[in-house]
Amino acid sequence: MHVLHLHSSFQTGGKELRAARLINVFGAKLRHSIVSAMPDALGAASAIDTGIEVDYPSNFPLLAGKPWPGRLWRLAQAMKPFDLVLSYNWGAMDAVLSHSVFRDYLSLPPLVHHEDGFNEDEANGLKRSRNWYRQVALARSAALVVPSRRLEGIALEAWKQPRGKVKLITNGIATSTYRRKLQANALPRIVKRKGELWLGTLAGLRQVKDLPRLVRAFSRLPEPWQLVILGEGPEREAIRAEAMRLELSHRVHLPGFVSDPAKAVGLFDLFALSSQSEQFPISVVEAMAAGLAVASPDVGDVAGIVSPENRPFVTSAGDEDALANAIEALAGDAALRKTVGKANRALATAKYDEKSMIAAYRAVYGEALGLPEFP
């Protein structure tokens, strides 16, 4: 069975790494073709097991452009040879529209669309034109998968999708792998030295993650604390510039992307987000599984993900000072971090293990194909 993946980007972010994890779990029974609307953004390819048959076709029609009939026709024709089409986020929406327009005429394979959140252009409010476009484009998709309650509500209300089509699948991880004790040199290009404490985060280095804000919040912490930002993306220099402006370059580290977060998160002493927009950030669950307290703006489902003990440290979304206060409070109290982290780990193990997530994706893809079992 040949599966086509149409991504807004296949850079190393949450949805991309989840897709890679599912590809690995489904194994050699499937082969995959992965297309990115940003053709050079393929960093998550490194997370796919070497034994999986996967290619990145360079001759696939561009996912970005004006939705003229000729371009939609070429996109639809390019989907025809596959058995299942999986599309992801706004950057693939023209392909979703072309599928709806030409599905019956070309006998196209079923399409399942995934929405995981918004970039900075919709971080502070949805665009009416895009709501309408999504409503039309998704008309003939087999299912719409969302990871958060907030996105489920948007899909039902703003995008007018039938309740039976919208599938809420909470992100999950292999929680047991985050209990391991890590060596101080587990990360590339950085070693945790004796006496250091690490405030850490996992994020694509994009504007919507607002990582310069995290640098500013971190600036309140005393000298033993280091800020470690794991990820890659176009905002690397902006983060460095903010660290230099605040004379923190020696304490702010960007070692790059880590393909296996379970081999990294356990080195953190505290976890933080600074995003303008999220839905169900898998990095928060990873931090919880590692037994960490989390400081974060109240974006997406974060307040509902963390334990009750952690909720006081989920602050108003636009309040940078409140985020800094939450980070400072947790950083200054090791016993509090331990109590909150223990509660987070117990909740992550009970609610967010990947077994349930994988079973749910198997069910959705199988239903789209009319199969009792997938793959």
308 vs 258 pLDDT, higher one: 308
CA distances from 45 to 17, 30, 34, 52, 201 (A): 9, 16, 9, 11, 21
Percentage of the chain exceeding pLDDT 90 = 86
Q: Nearest 5 degrees, angle CA 232-CA 236-CA 238?
A: 155
The two three-digit tokens of residue 117, written as one number? 């959140």
Q: How confident is the model at residue 183 (pLDDT cuts 50, 70, 90)?
A: confident
Segment (H or E) for 101: helix 93-106
Task: Provide the mean pLDDT of the chain.
Answer: 95
pLDDT digits (tens, 9 = 90+) for 76-100: 999 999 999 999 999 999 999 999 9
In angstroms, what CA-CA distances link 137 with 56, 103, 303, 310? 25, 12, 31, 39
pLDDT in tens, 304-323: 999 999 999 999 998 999 99
How high is the pLDDT of residue 123? 65
pTM for the structure as a whole:
0.79
Judge whether 282 and 171 are in contact, CB under 8 Å: yes
Q: How many other CB atoms are found less than 10 A from the CB of residue 2?
A: 13
Domain ranges of the chain: 2-172+354-369, 175-351
pLDDT band at 11 (very low <50, low <70, confident <90, very high): confident
DSSP code per residue over 229-297: EE--STTHHHHHHHHHHTT-GGGEEEEE--S-GGGTGGG-SEEE---S--SS-HHHHHHHHTT--EEEE
* pLDDT exceeds 80 at position 120: no
What pLDDT is recorded for position 121? 74
Report the amino acid identity of residue 166: V
Residue 74, classed as helix, strand or coil, is helix
Q: Which fold has domain 2-172+354-369?
A: Rossmann fold (3.40.50)
CA–CA separation, 147 vs 155, rounded Å? 11
175-351 fold: Rossmann fold (3.40.50)
Same fold for the pair 2-172+354-369 and 175-351: yes
Give me the pLDDT at residue 335, please: 98
Please provide the size of the chain in residues. Answer: 375
Span 221-235, pLDDT tens digits: 999 999 999 999 999
**Dist. CA 110–CA 79, nearest whole Å:** 10
What type of residue is 276?
Answer: Q
